[in-house]
Structure 1
Amino acid sequence: MSASDQLRVLFRIWVTREFYAAPADEQAQVFKAIPPAFDRLGERFGVTVLGTLDEDLLQVGTGAREPISYVLADAPDLAAVRTVCEIVRTERVGEFPLWRYLEIDARIGHELFFATH
């Protein structure tokens, strides 16, 4: 599959108020659950991660107004993008789904024709 056949995707991730309101031990469980939930996206879904950005150095608090983390990726198709978003729905932290603590959406486009190097 050529690069032009790929979808360029920006996954945007929010931290919910429930995360910030959770006790420290529950927050620690969430931190432990996130890396394996989003690990090996290429192997699992054919998604190539191009880069990540976490704004947590300058954004403190609920994060509910704007995303705090981003994953820029190429995906083979819409089904792969949807499956990555579904991680937040299907993965669990103890008795709760991950979406109690994180929200995710995806912006889909294509590679920009300039500023590529």
Structure 2
Amino acid sequence: MAEKKPIRTLFCIAVQQNFFDLPFKDIGPVWKGFSAFLRGVADLPGVTVLGTLDDDETMVGTSPTGFPWTCYVMADCPDRETVQAACNLFRTIEVGEYRLWRYMRIEARMGRALEIPAIAQD
């Protein structure tokens, strides 16, 4: 039986207005929650984090409803359930009396790794 290929997943993360409405002194717990999310994704069984990209230096303020997002995490995940578990971290990670999803939102795009075919040369 052929080995199951991982699902290449792009986790797209947006910082929401609730974050920007916080007093400066209350921002730290959100970053701790977000760090817990990043660790949580990396610790999921079978996940390989391939890279991250933070757009905060060239995009200031909240993200629109879709692209562009504030930051991205690219990972290979073993199955759809693992991708769902990663997204679910936003529902379970506590930030004070709230959950992380009050301050950020996430969307996962799943596909396969793009394999560039060799080009035959004459």
TM-score by length of 1: 0.88
Deviation digits for residues 84-114 of structure 1 (CA, Å, limit 9, x no counterpart): 0001011110001100001001000001112
Q: CA 1:78 to 1:98, structure 2 compared with 1: closer, same or farther past 3 Å? A: same
Match of residue 10 from structure 1? 10
Give 1 or 2 for the bigger CA radius of gyration. Answer: 2
Deviation digits for residues 45-83 of structure 1 (CA, Å, limit 9, x no counterpart): 321100110000100012244311001110000000000
In structure 1, runs of 5+ residues without a counterpart are: none
- Is this contact kept in 2: 1:16–1:64, CA < 8 A? no
Identity of aligned residues (%): 39
> How many pairs are equivalent?
114
By how many angstroms is 1:33 displaced? 2.0
- Is this contact kept in 2: 1:13–1:104, CA < 8 A? yes
Match of residue 37 from structure 1? 37
| Structure 1 or 2: more helix by fraction | 1
Aligned mates of 1:75, 1:107 — CA distance in 2? 12
Q: 2:99 aligns with which of 97, 100, 112?
A: 97
Aligned mates of 1:45, 1:69 — CA distance in 2? 23
Q: CA 1:39 to 1:33, structure 2 compared with 1: closer, same or farther past 3 Å? A: same
In structure 2, runs of 5+ residues without a counterpart are: 118-122
By how many angstroms is 1:40 displaced? 5.1
Amino acid at match of 1:73: A
Amino acid at match of 1:46: G
Amino acid at match of 1:12: C
